[in-house]
Amino acid sequence: MPKIIGIVEDDTDQLENYADAMRRKGYEPVGYTRADQALEAFTKNPPDLAVLDISLGAEVDGGFELCRSLLAAHPGLPVIFLTDRVDEIDKISGLRLGAWDYETKPISLNFLAEKVAAIFRIMESRSQPHGKAEGIIKTGDLALDENRMTVTWKGAPLDLTLTEFRIVAALCRRPGDVKSYESLMDSAIQTVVAHNTVNTHIRHIRKKFAALDPGFDKIQNEYALGYRWAED
């Protein structure tokens, strides 16, 4: 069955352009111009991935609210924000909500389709059985597979976004070394570099580890410098 791509965009022409790009890639797009319509539909039948605008008609932050509701109901759903809002605070807000990516308009339709395909490749890779040991980082109870982009803690898998995975990988490659805020965002390949952005990602990462192990304390803050992965 083709992957279902949920698209929420209040400009009907842009919505149809995005949908056409998804169809050409072999996906099945379902589109909505209003957040309430999308939420009702996606609650019953969640898509495999959602592409959301932020401003939806009179709802200035409708896409943010929709993302929050969708991820509360379906935590593993990958979300891409696609918007003409370029302010840093909007990008930070989107990442804080747990979106996989934040892209600004105008955007190449081919690039958008490849971005979606890349996310599905990562998700498919994570579901495959382990192969050879190349690209495996192990430190204490952590095992990180850079090829499949998976992380396990005490044998249990963590559902990390791409950005969260890259931050954990940067920290655990050299346990004990302090990674600055800037280097962590460089590792995550993000264009938004701010202490609050890093702190938000770290908070989400810690929360996911703590759900598996309430005593988790490996990610330690070095005041005004950055973070380190504690040595065993």
Q: Is the pLDDT of residue 58 over 50?
A: yes
Domains of the chain: 4-126 (3.40.50.2300), 129-229 (1.10.10.10)
Distance separating alpha carbons of residues 26 and 165, to the nearest angstrom: 28
What's the pTM value of the predicted model, to 2 decimals? Answer: 0.66
How crowded is residue 232: how many other Cβ atoms within 10 Å of its Cβ? 10
Distance separating alpha carbons of residues 165 and 188, to the nearest angstrom: 8
Q: Report pLDDT digits (tens) over 206-221.
A: 999 999 999 999 999 9
* Kind plus residue range of the DSSP H or E element containing 212: helix 195-212
Helix axes of 62-73 and 88-96: crossing angle, nearest 10 degrees? 20
Residue 194, SS3 per DSSP: coil
Beta strand 150-153 with 142-145 is: antiparallel
Phi and psi (nearest 5°) for 220?
-115, 140
Residue 159, SS3 per DSSP: coil
Per-residue confidence (pLDDT) for residue 193, from 0 to 100: 47
Highest mean pLDDT among 35-49, 99-113, 178-192: 35-49
Highest mean pLDDT among 47-51, 95-99, 104-108: 47-51
Percentage of the chain lying above the pLDDT 70 cut: 92
In sign, the C-alpha dihedral spanning 102, 107, 108, 110 is positive
Q: Is the pLDDT of residue 203 over 60?
A: yes
Per-residue confidence (pLDDT) for residue 50, from 0 to 100: 97
Sheet of 150-153, strands arranged across = 136-139, 142-145, 150-153, 156-158
Distance separating alpha carbons of residues 194 and 214, to the nearest angstrom: 28
Which positions ≥6 away from 114 have C-beta within 8 Å? none
Distance separating alpha carbons of residues 208 and 190, to the nearest angstrom: 21
Q: What are the start-end ranges of the E strands in the chain?
A: 4-8, 28-32, 49-52, 79-83, 101-104, 136-139, 142-145, 150-153, 156-158, 179-180, 219-222, 226-229
Percentage of the chain lying above the pLDDT 90 cut: 59
Peptide bond into 29 cis (omega under 30): no
